[in-house]
């Protein structure tokens, strides 16, 4: 797969992102597609990934949806690693959940910020 991924026109850009190698890079291309005109703007790509700010109907509070980040955590095996991490007390469990959530919010931006 590495040999074929290296031949893709976007391979150099994908591989320049921290944490993306040929396997996960191929997965990113498979998820987003490689058609030049598929997304009319960066916002359209963020909308597809689920990372655009969403205004809640109950007020003006905005948050960034982490659904695509959670998806990436599962398909890459990161989720299994997190669940295998032990915790001795409530504070360690809470810290583990905080890190999980932060990573879910950041993962989609790794790729989206470069295009």
In tens, the pLDDT along 85-109 reads 888 899 988 888 888 888 877 777 6
H or E element that contains 64? strand 62-64
**Separation CA 25–CA 37 (nearest Å):** 20
**Separation CA 50–CA 105 (nearest Å):** 10
Query: What are the structural domain ranges in the chain?
Result: 2-112
pTM of the model: 0.43
Paired with 62 in beta bridges are 55
In tens, the pLDDT along 71-87 reads 778 877 888 887 788 88
**Separation CA 114–CA 49 (nearest Å):** 14
- Phi, psi for 35 (deg, rounded to 5): -75, 125
């Amino acid at each position: 797969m590495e040999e074929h991924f290296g031949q893709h026109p976007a391979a150099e850009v994908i591989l320049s992102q921290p944490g993306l190698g040929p396997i996960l890079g191929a997965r990113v291309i498979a998820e987003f597609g490689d058609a030049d005109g598929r997304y009319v703007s960066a916002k359209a790509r963020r909308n597809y990934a689920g990372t655009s700010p969403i205004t809640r109907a109950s007020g003006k509070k905005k948050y960034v949806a982490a659904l695509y980040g959670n998806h990436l955590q599962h398909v890459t095996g990161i989720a299994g690693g997190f669940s295998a991490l032990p915790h001795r007390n409530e504070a360690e469990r809470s810290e583990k959940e905080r890190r999980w959530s932060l990573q879910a919010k950041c993962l989609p931006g790794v790729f989206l910020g470069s295009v």
